[in-house]
Amino acid sequence: QVSLVESGGGLAQAGGSLRLSCAASGRTLTYYTMGWFRQAPGKEREFVASINWSSARTNYADSVKGRFTISRDNAKNTVALQMNSLKPEDTAIYYCAARYGTNSNNVADYRNWGQGTQVTVSS
């Protein structure tokens, strides 16, 4: 079982930046794809970004392409999400997730989830 803990959320102004981190424990992330998802009030959880085990493949939601960057450090069992040029519509709870296997944008494909970290962007 993989346990995930997010950190780095907070309040930012529009146009600003935040960096989210996710630390995994319980087992190494060998062959695990890591993803970031978010959920705004009254909305369904949605895909943000994912990165495969080797970091060779990354996927992004259209809404964050060119602004967000996902990365991972397998030696440290961590994954990060660098968020630049933040917009008020990026306000949400952000979740780190893990799945054994290839990249996926589908919430249902991820079996391991963190508890989330709040990101609030003011205009």
Q: Give the tens place of pLDDT for each residue, 32-58.
A: 999 999 999 999 999 999 999 999 999
Average pLDDT, the chain: 96
Question: What pLDDT does residue 40 have?
Answer: 97
Whole-angstrom distance, CA of residue 7 vs CA of residue 30: 22
Task: Judge whether 41 and 109 are in contact, CB under 8 Å.
Answer: no
Residue 118, helix vs strand vs coil: strand
- What integer is the mean pLDDT of 17-43? 94
- Please give the torsion angle defined by the CA atoms of residues 101, 119, 21 and 98, in that order, rounded to the nearest 10 degrees: -20
Task: Judge whether 33 and 54 are in contact, CB under 8 Å.
Answer: no
Q: What DSSP line would sit under 49-101, residue for residue?
A: EEE-TTSS-EEE-TTTTTTEEEEEETTTTEEEEEE-S--GGG-EEEEEEEEES
Report the b/e string of 40-73 with b at 16+ CB within 10 A.
eeeeebebbbbbbbeeeeebbbeebeeebbbebe
pLDDT above 90: residue 29: no
Specify the DSSP class assigned to residue 109: G
